Chain A
Amino acid sequence: MSRKKNVVSEPALQSLQEAYVPTQEDFTFDTSIDIHTDRNYASVGFWKGVATRFFKNKRAVIGLVIIGISIFLALAGPYMNQYGYSDIQSVYDEETGNEVTARSLPPRIPWLHKLMTGEAYDDPFADRVFLFGTDSLGRDLWTRVWYGARVSLLIAFVTIFIDMIVGMTFGLVSGYFGGILDDFMQRFLEIANSIPRLVIVGVLATFMPKGIGLVIVALLLTEWIGMSKIARAEMLKNKEQEYIMASRTLGAGSGRIIFIDILPNTIGPIITQMMFSIPNAIFTEAFLSFVGVGIMLPQCSIGSLIEDGFNNITTLPYQIVPPILVLAFLMLAFNFVGDGLREALAPRIEDM
């Protein structure tokens, strides 16, 4: 039984051969190739791959842009006009001889108003720009919103950074040693986790002055738990891996294994968790300020501004809009970035 199998017609190759006519010289051994040293490797570095995947993700990029703009405005926004965040804007009215404060003005841009209505404002503040308007005491809301955003972001970054270090160490140690120590540490964590945040705040408020300090301590006491759970899970996943066994057979001690070998491998999930914790911290701060145990006047944060606006929501609804929008955008943006990072750090096989 003879059959034609695999009759190959390869036009591409034929054309290639036509293009190049080999000489007899070409059919001698090529001794220039060193076959005994293997020089192959894939060229893309890990973080470069992560970055490529991250920036391909539209939502993550939008999130990153929003965060960037927010941070920029939180730093520079308050200096974009002549008002201080606690200055009450007033004008001396010569006609009445009274000091007139700029209480509860709606947003105004004089030249735009003139352009649209053909008339200038008819009040003592006709030449002033209040992009977001003023609050009920006559302070510029633009300045206060960005100043508040700065305070909120600062609180969030500082607490989350400390929480990361505390939570990560706790989780890594607990997961690595296991056994009784792990049991003990996990029970402690469960108890800590079971106390409602409001109770913690209530207790703290009895012996701590209200203000930024209280908010930070309240966040420190609660946010590290999530971090430590992630770190412990990563430790449990990594410590049975062969590369850790290899370190142990080389005589590596516990400290080296935890902090030099395993820690860098948990960084991805930890950063992702941070991205999700930051909006949580901002929101918690806003909530505490909203219920009145957070930032004290005349300082402000996103939360205290929302509280102010909420008090006047029926009469002056525009006051609550800017801080709420900033809060919403920040929360959304951090979540987008967190999602983007998580996907970029754990690539699907087909992307590799």
Chain B
Amino acid sequence: MPADYSQEPILKVEHMKQYFKVSSSYTVKAVDDVSFDIYPGETYGLVGESGSGKTTVGRGIIRLYDPTDGRITFKGKDITGKMDRETTNLLRTKMQMIFQDPMASLNPRKKIGDIIGEGLDIHQMYSTQEERKEKIDRILAKVGLAAEHYDRYPYQFSGGQRQRVGIARALIMNPELIIADECISALDVSIQAQVVNLMKDIQEETGTAYLFIAHDLSMVKYISDRIGVLHLGRMLETGTTQEIFSNPMHPYTRSLLSAIPVPDPATEKERIALEYHYETSGLNYDEGSLTLVGGSHYVHGTPQEIETWKRETQA
């Protein structure tokens, strides 16, 4: 099922801000005025280096943090501030998360079956134990694990297998949006592809949308319909995958693209990555704003900067 842009977005993030007060005089602006939408069945890739705030965005949306400011709407319901019971239930079932570290994201003292079944237990989504077991077994099979894994513990599994368990845990709730927070970066490249394939299969079958948070652009390109580039808590550029990859405008985006490793010795041996340092770039993110440059392609900058970049990229 491809992304459906005719419908209302399933998730709307408007001017999200997330500040962390470190001391009375020092506040970290982890996320500063970030806005984007995700449509049903769509995969939105959020890329940036460590410290860019991409993980904070994900955690703020699923309300592991309470966003400092801004409005987040999920399936038409405002999920910022205090939520009523119904909204909480909606958020805790229809939005799920896959975590980064397959070693830390599974409770070491729980059986695989109980880890996957936790959501069912919390929301009382079965009437008999047989029904619960059957649901869990079906999900295990779907993520390519065997029924005999039900009674095993997380440390008996490899990283890729654990990540499958993490996916199963999210999947069993039939979510409509899954936030995948760097969910492949801790895995071997060969296993990354397995997990990405699995996620694509699931999307085709269930029509769930993904917020795919990553720092590895090659996988992001492969899985995403649209991409947002985050740096120092700001959205610097967003657009369709096609727009970002064929016509990257912001110097930061261009440096990211130039750094993608390619499994081809002929090109890789020649490639020199572009450098980008905010301090020496002459840019001030506070001055610019997100500006439409065509299609659904937005770039963050002052009008003059954007003009310059337009000339540069067209040349």
Contacts and interface: CB of A to CB of B under 8 A. Distances in A.
Q: Do A and B have CB atoms closer than 8 angstroms in the complex?
A: yes
Interface of A: 36-46, 241-243, 245-252, 256, 261, 264-265, 267, 352
B104 A251 contact: no
B308 interface: no
A320 to B, nearest CB: 46
Contacts of A36: 144
Interface residues of B, number: 41
Nearest to A245: B64
B237 to A, nearest CB: 29
Nearest to B172: A250
B144 A242 contact: no
Contacts of B155: 42, 46, 352
B148 A245 contact: no
A252 B118 contact: yes
A6 B95 CA distance: 53
B269 to A, nearest CB: 17
Nearest to B194: A38
A250 B118 contact: yes
A243 B104 contact: yes
Given A41-B152, A42-B157, A245-B97, A250 B119 contact: yes
A45 B122 contact: no
A45 B164 CA distance: 20
B122 A252 contact: yes
B123 interface: yes
A41 B157 CA distance: 5
Contacts of A245: 59, 64, 97, 99, 105
Contacts of A45: 153
A38 B64 contact: no
B141 interface: yes
Contacts of B92: 249-251
A225 to B, nearest CB: 26
A246 B99 contact: yes
A265 B141 contact: no
B67 to A, nearest CB: 15
Contacts of A246: 97, 99, 105-106, 118, 166, 169
Contacts of A37: 141, 144-146
Given A249-B92, A265-B107, A39 B122 contact: no
Contact of B107 (A39, A40, A261): A261
A261 B169 CA distance: 15
A285 B132 CA distance: 51
B88 interface: yes
12 contacts: A37-B144, A38-B161, A46-B108, A241-B105, A242-B100, A243-B106, A246-B106, A249-B95, A250-B119, A251-B119, A251-B123, A264-B109
A58 to B, nearest CB: 26
Interface in B105-153: 105-110, 118-119, 122-123, 141, 144-146, 148-149, 152-153
Contacts of B153: 45-46
B62 A242 contact: no
Contact of A38 (B93, B96, B99, B145): B145
A243 B145 contact: no
B101 interface: yes
A249 B106 CA distance: 13
Contacts of A39: 146, 148
Contacts of B258: none
A115 to B, nearest CB: 58
Contacts of B156: 41-44
Given A40-B158, A42-B155, A249 B64 contact: yes
B89 interface: yes
A250 B173 contact: yes
A352 B155 CA distance: 10
Given A41-B152, A46-B153, A242-B99, A249 B145 contact: no
Contacts of B89: 251
Interface string B149-189: 10011011110010010100100010000000000000000
Interface string B27-64: 00000000000000000000000000000000100101
A259 to B, nearest CB: 12
Contact of A251 (B93, B100, B141): B93
A87 B35 CA distance: 86
A250 B114 CA distance: 13
B173 to A, nearest CB: 7
A37 B143 CA distance: 9
B62 A249 contact: yes
B105 A243 contact: yes
A251 B169 contact: no
Interface string B63-91: 01000000000000000000000001100
A166 to B, nearest CB: 22
Contacts of B95: 249
A38 B146 contact: yes
Contacts of A256: 122
Given A249-B92, A251-B122, 13 more contacts: A40-B157, A41-B157, A41-B161, A46-B109, A241-B105, A242-B99, A242-B100, A242-B104, A243-B108, A245-B105, A246-B105, A249-B95, A249-B96
Contacts of B157: 40-42
A38 B141 CA distance: 9
A203 to B, nearest CB: 41
A251 B64 CA distance: 11
